[in-house]
Amino acid sequence: MALDLSSLQGTADSYATKSPQAILGLALTEYSPSVGIAFSGAEDVVLIDMAVKLAVPFTVFCLDTGRLHPETYQFIEKVRTHYGIVVDTVAPQADAVQRLVRAKGLFSFYQDGHSECCGIRKVEPLTRALAPLGAWVTGQRQDQSPGTRAHVPVVQLDRTFSTAERPLVKFNPLSQWTSKQVWDYIEIYDVPFNALHRRGFISIGCEPCTRATTPNQHERAGRWWWEEATKKECGLHVGENTDDR
């Protein structure tokens, strides 16, 4: 089964006030087993925990950029063993990375911005990871980044990664949740989380591009801190989060 794309906006409206479990259940019911949960952070493990409890087949993948913190690799392994699931790690193309490093060094993003590096280490691998899927599930929340995610719907056509031959639907079950709701769920259900969170890291990406934040800073202030706040996206969701009404 698959959702009727012509009525996707109506589906998003009707599910906007429903629980994340109901939205996730819709994704799994309509697209299993061709549905994947993109895993990198706390929100994503909440979704994995919910999906395991729904007991409908799904896949999990994460992007191994080659620049992650050691704690993040340990976190990936902890999630794999905790839930007894396969976590497919998708790496960038080695030749593309080598060309970038040879031409610009290991830290070109501090001068040129992060788009080029993220394009090689994240966007291209994600394109490959999504190729066999009919739908994917993300942990995006509207309050994560007011400038870029304020209008994230609970379900949408993924205009960035869809093709004419293969439309791709994106589900964002935690769209309406706050960070507090995510962490309340983690505490109540003893969900694994990245050890970096205990050291002041809230939004965690690659090691050179992530730092801890202070209590009065927004959660994504620690990502690409040398760039404008409006540019704090790596390209995985750019172009998807405008208000289409």
Contact criterion met (CB below 8 Å) for 142 and 149: yes
State the pLDDT at residue 245.
29
Mean pLDDT of 104-128: 95
Question: Residues 31, 160: contact at Cβ < 8 Å?
Answer: no
In the chain the domains, ranked by start, together with CATH numbers, are: 5-194 (3.40.50.620)
Query: Looking at residues 182-195, what average pLDDT do you find?
Result: 98
Q: What are phi and psi of 45, to 5 degrees?
A: -75, -30
Q: Cα Rg for the chain, rounded, in angstroms?
A: 17
- Check residue 210 and report its DSSP letter: B
74/76 Cα distance (integer angstroms): 5
Prediction pTM value: 0.90
Pairing of the two strands 155-157 and 169-171: antiparallel
Give just the sign of the alpha carbon dihedral 16, 22, 23, 26: negative
Is position 234 annotated as part of the catalytic site? yes
Q: Is 9 a residue whose pLDDT tops 60?
A: yes
**pLDDT digit string (tens) for 138-148?**
999 998 766 65
How many other C-beta atoms are found inside a 10 Å radius of the C-beta of residue 123? 18
pLDDT for residue 107: 95
Catalytic pick among 117, 118, 209, 234: 234
Report how far residue 53's alpha carbon sits from residue 235's, in angstroms, rounded to the nearest whole number: 31
Residue 243 pLDDT level (bands cut at 50, 70, 90):
very low
Quick check: 136 pLDDT over 70? yes
Predicted local distance difference test score (pLDDT) of residue 229:
62
The pLDDT value recorded for residue 239 is 52
Nearest to 71 by CA among 42, 35, 105, 38: 42
